Structure 1
Amino acid sequence: MADQTPQDVSALSFEDALKRLEEIVRKLESGEAALDEAIRLYEEGDRLKQQCEARLKAAQARIEQIQLGPNGAPTGTAPFGAD
């Protein structure tokens, strides 16, 4: 797996950011990275994690849950996770 240079994580799609994060985790877990590289990878991984979490939170806020009335018929929608 070829190393990638750090880039602006906000420009990556969620899927690309997650893929890069998985690559970083594998490399760090393998122990093959020198200390300086491991620190750089950890910092990049932290930025990727934050970006992925922000995108998931934004997506969750857009999802709506269908509300059902007592007879089981749809009565409207509510934000995802609302009681």
Structure 2
Amino acid sequence: MTTPVRPKAIVFDVNETLLDLSSLQRAFTQTFNEQFAFKFWFSTLLQYSLVDTLTTNYHDFGQIGKAALTMTSAYFDKPLSPDEQ
């Protein structure tokens, strides 16, 4: 009888699987008046967090989220007030 192989790591997809982001998506749609705004922000957030991980740089989630929001604001040509941010 062979010994079962145990995995060395288990990976969970947390974003949009365990976390309900629908209220955040509604806020983006309302703020930018654009259905695609949330997807743009979220994909930018994931991209830059992955770049940080792969390059062993570190920025906390809030910093990356805010930078992605700034990029989203520029992309949709919609300046945001501090309250909107």
**Do the structures match in fold with TM over 0.5?**
no
Q: TM-score, normalised by structure 1?
A: 0.30
Q: TM-score, normalised by structure 2?
A: 0.29
Query: Which is helix-richer, 1 or 2?
Result: 1
Larger radius of gyration: 1
